[in-house]
């Protein structure tokens, strides 16, 4: 187990992509709703304590708020620090 958690993965530096310039498109409410519907249910909350079911409970309010938040992040080019961290706990399943 110690080796699995501490082993370095090789990186493929040959992957390239073209630089795209210009204004970013705004994220649409339908895109947010589609992404939320694709999320797995009954999963543990991350460092923020928020689970996806909270947003689905009141779609009218949460979709407007999430769309505004995502578009603000696109405009500013930033992501909240809480979204950059996670808590990973290995669980032995006896297999």
Q: How far apart are CA 28 and CA 81, in angstroms?
A: 23
Is residue 73, in this structure, part of any structural domain at all? yes
Confirm if 79 and 70 have CB atoms less than 8 A apart: no
**pLDDT at residue 2 in the model:** 62
Is residue 20, in this structure, part of any structural domain at all? no
**pLDDT at residue 67 in the model:** 94
Q: Report the 10 Å Cβ neighbour count for 32.
A: 21
Q: How far apart are CA 65 and CA 29, in angstroms?
A: 10
Is residue 32, in this structure, part of any structural domain at all? yes
Q: How many domains does the chain have?
A: 1
Provide the whole-model pTM.
0.62
Is residue 91, in this structure, part of any structural domain at all? no
Is residue 4, in this structure, part of any structural domain at all? no
Give the total residue count for the chain: 95
pLDDT tens profile 24-69: 889 999 999 999 889 888 888 877 788 888 888 888 888 999 999 9
Confirm if 49 and 8 have CB atoms less than 8 A apart: no
69 lies in which domain range? 28-38+49-77
Is residue 93, in this structure, part of any structural domain at all? no
**pLDDT at residue 4 in the model:** 62
The token duo for 27 is 């994220």
Provide, rounded to the nearest whole percent, the portion of the chain with pLDDT above 70: 89
For tokens 């930033």, what's the residue?
Answer: 78
**pLDDT at residue 86 in the model:** 74
């Amino acid at each position: 187990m110690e080796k699995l958690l501490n082993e370095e993965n090789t990186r493929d530096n040959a992957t390239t992509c073209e630089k795209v310039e210009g204004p970013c498109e705004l994220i649409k409410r339908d895109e947010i709703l589609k992404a939320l519907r694709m999320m797995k249910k009954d999963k543990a909350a991350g460092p923020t304590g928020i689970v996806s079911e909270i947003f689905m409970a009141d779609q009218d309010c949460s979709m407007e708020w999430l769309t505004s938040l995502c578009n603000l992040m696109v405009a500013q080019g930033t992501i909240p620090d809480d979204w950059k961290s996670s808590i990973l706990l290995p669980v032995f399943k006896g297999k």
